[in-house]
Structure 1
Amino acid sequence: MDLTLIVVLVIALALFFDFTNGFHDTANAMATPIATGAIKPKAAVALAAVLNLVGAFLSTEVAKTISGGIIKEGGDSGVQIMPAMIFAGLMGAVVWNMLTWLLGLPSSSSHALFGGLIGAAIVGAGFGVIDYGVLMSKVLLPALVAPVIAGTSAYLCTKLAYSVTKRQAGLSSPKRGGFRYGQIFSSSLVALAHGTNDAQKTMGVITLTLVASGLQDAGTGPHFWVIAACALAIALGTYTGGWRIIRTMGSGLTDVKPAQGFAAETSTAAAILASSHLGFALSTTQVASGSVIGSGLGRKGAEVRWGTAGRIALGWLFTLPAAGLIGAAAAALAHFGNIGLGIVAVLGIGSLLVIWVLSRRELVGHANAISDVDVSGAAVNIPTKKQRRKAARAKANEAAKANKVSQAAPVNEANEEVK
């Protein structure tokens, strides 16, 4: 296949992945303000799209991590991945991303991308093409540390928010209405951070393709047209595709109060923006999920549903290797030249069409449209006021029954003595 044609195909597929990333992840930023009524759904999606567009222009450090870090560009090492292998890796990422979206499985678009590219790169150029030091320091270690830091920060912020605004003498209820409007700011910050981190991953892939094909010098960052195209793709994905997830978010799957949501979103944005500045290729879904769980635990009466938390962890754990296997299989087919690439393209497009048809036929609900962050919120059980009152009544009834039994025991013993 002509080199120019394969480069064009890779760029097109990369931008499509960026588009899917927009509606797969970014809508999470606006979940809580929609649920609490702070902002209307249409306005929330439009705001998230604009901020993703702006955020993509703020930094290119993550793009450089991908284009010249995880997969070696060549140079002194003599190792180079070809555009056909990048195409195969992207196909693995896109197919896994769409499949998990359809099934409602907790996953990371970022790790799907890394897995697909790594699997294809190993098949195409051997294990030496991966810079494992960069993979560990810029991807795997932040994936473990960032959600914990964000969750701890959200926990402390939630505790502080509820402590500062606790019920005062003479007031019937604590005054926390201001947090509802503060969520507009904090959610906007998350959307901005998402554009800053996730759009750069696609920039890095396109830059890697241009370097591998000899159209760009190794060690250079993304061109302006690459930045602009990726920014536009993720923004369009956010605006046009987010409704499937937004519907689920607005249905109250998790009981997120304004103060709790404000703390979670602020912690998420801070972690992602700091990581983007340092060039860490984070999963924004994982960071946001960690913040939601942390903020949930910060509310009084919360408890962790460890079964749900374990399912989330398994979803995160399997995403990178599963996408890697798909990318590796696609790369193996691509070794057969133009025929192999054609088969990869046909199978990939066919899979996407099947997924799209299934998504249109099935009703939007918990089973096939649940947000990744909502799944994480479900790992924290926060009893409602009604549930707490019911539990208190049940406890009081048990205590009363126990008291009656204890009082009746001496009478029965006295009767036995008379007999």
Structure 2
Amino acid sequence: MGIALIGLIVIVALALAFDFINGFHDTANAIATSVATKVLTPAQAIAMAAVMNIVGALTGTAVAKTIATDIVPQQYATLELVGAAILSAILWNLYTWWKGLPSSSSHALIFSLVGAGVAAGGWGIIIPKGVTKTLTGLFTSPLLGFVVPILLMALLSWLVLRWLRPRVVTRTFRWAQIFSAAFMAFSHGGNDAQKTMGIITFALSAYAGAAYDHVPLWVILSAATAMGLGTATGGWRIIKTMGFKVVDLKPVDGFVAETSAALIIETASRLGIPVSTTHTISASIMGVGTTKGFKKVKWQVAGRIVTAWFTTIPICIALGWVIHKVILLLGV
């Protein structure tokens, strides 16, 4: 077995480890509101999210192709570059998980790839189109995540809620929220697992010395499985932040937040835009909270979340750059 092949195997293992960590780091995206409203127990919610993450991950590869071809040109792909990007993203994911901060695994990986790419060939090799597409998703998904649930809640109030007794509303939306949580988990798998598919495909092009214009089936299946297994392990620190520390939620609130976020994420997946499921559902929870009044949202906690959003980009670019330089220095 050659050194290059061993390197590729290590990279694939690291990528799947990142996918696994992404699963337990982002479990809260799909289930925090369901747990907070007591519609599902943590065990029930995690099991459902794991299954739906896998199903969602098998539904497309548009985002994977963006990662594999539109951030760093495949002719510049090396195993050192890919390894640096993945290690950087893993370190940031573990740190933010430890701190209980719902940061973006997606943007951690993408901007770690940017940093490693800059270390390898300078800013000139970074493809503006792909970075612009990512930044567009970065800013528009939380904005839509905040606005859409406010509009959806207003529509529900006008069409349904004002005619029903509070007890009936709670009972009805307890059931509806199970489906919205499943939809959220499905959309999460459909967007986030594709990042790992893309980075593995990028590594395959580095190993083969040729461009890959498709995502192999084994890559799709392994990424979907790794994310599902990661989700099944939970991620209680971030679940507590998302579900209990931002705003007091009721089943109808959880339904609106999850449905809004899932629609936005699913649309982005079909367009090949790598968005942050964390950013989107966090903003949706805040949006729902404002329909109860601005004082109902714990803006100090929300501020910590927003800070994590915007520190991810520069920190991961720097981490990716540094780790790439260290790998070359050590001759790994």
1:366-417 deviations in whole A, cap 9, x for unaligned? xxxxxxxxxxxxxxxxxxxxxxxxxxxxxxxxxxxxxxxxxxxxxxxxxxxx
Shift of 1:49: 0.4
CA-CA distance at 1:128 after TM superposition: 2.1
Q: Is 1:324 matched with 2:324?
A: no
TM-score when normalising by structure 1: 0.74
* Aligned: 1:183 with 2:177: yes
Counterparts in 2 of 1:299 and 1:160: CA distance versus 1, 3 Å:
farther
Q: How does 1:218-237 map to 2 (within 5 A)?
A: 218-237=211-230
Unmatched 5+ stretches in structure 2: none
Kindly state the Cα deviation for residue 32 of structure 1 after the two structures are TM-superposed: 1.7
How far apart in 2 are the matches of 1:181 and 1:33?
Answer: 10
- Following TM superposition, by how much is the alpha carbon of 1:152 offset from its aligned partner in structure 2, in angstroms? 1.0
Shift of 1:183: 0.4
1:123 aligns with 2:119: yes
With 15-24 and 156-165 compared, the bigger mean Cα shift is at 156-165
Amino acid at match of 2:192: D
1:33-72 correspondence runs (5 A): 33-72=34-73
Is this contact kept in 2: 1:41–1:246, CA < 8 A?
Answer: no
CA deviation digits over 1:236-293, x for unaligned, max 9? 0000243454466666763111111111111111000000000000011001111111
- The number of residue pairs the alignment matches comes to 331
Q: How far, CA to CA, are the matches of 1:58 and 1:104 in structure 2?
A: 30
**Does the aligned pair in 2 maintain the 1:162–1:259 contact within 8 Å?**
no
Tell me if the contact between 2:16 and 2:222 (Cα under 8 Å) persists in the aligned partners: yes
* Paired letter, 1:257: K
Counterpart residue number, 1:214: 208
After superposition, where does 1:3-402 map in structure 2 within 5 Å? 3-74=4-75, 80-136=76-132, 138-166=133-161, 175-214=169-208, 217-246=210-239, 254-299=247-292, 302=295, 306-336=299-329, 339-341=330-332
Task: Tell me if the contact between 1:21 and 1:109 (Cα under 8 Å) persists in the aligned partners.
Answer: yes
**Equivalent position SS for 1:21:** helix
Query: Matched residues in 2 for 1:164 and 1:176: separation?
Result: 16
Residue by residue over 1:108-166, the C-alpha shift from the partner in whole angstroms, topping out at 9 and shown as x without a partner, is 11111112111111111222221012211x20011101111122110111122234444
Which structure's relative contact order is higher, taking Cα pairs within 8 Å and 6+ residues apart? 2
Identity %: 41
List alignment gaps of at least 5 residues for structure 1: 75-79, 342-419
Q: Is the 8 A contact 1:45 1:242 kept in 2?
A: no
Distance 1:129 1:63 in 2: 19
**Residue 173 of structure 1, CA deviation:** 6.2
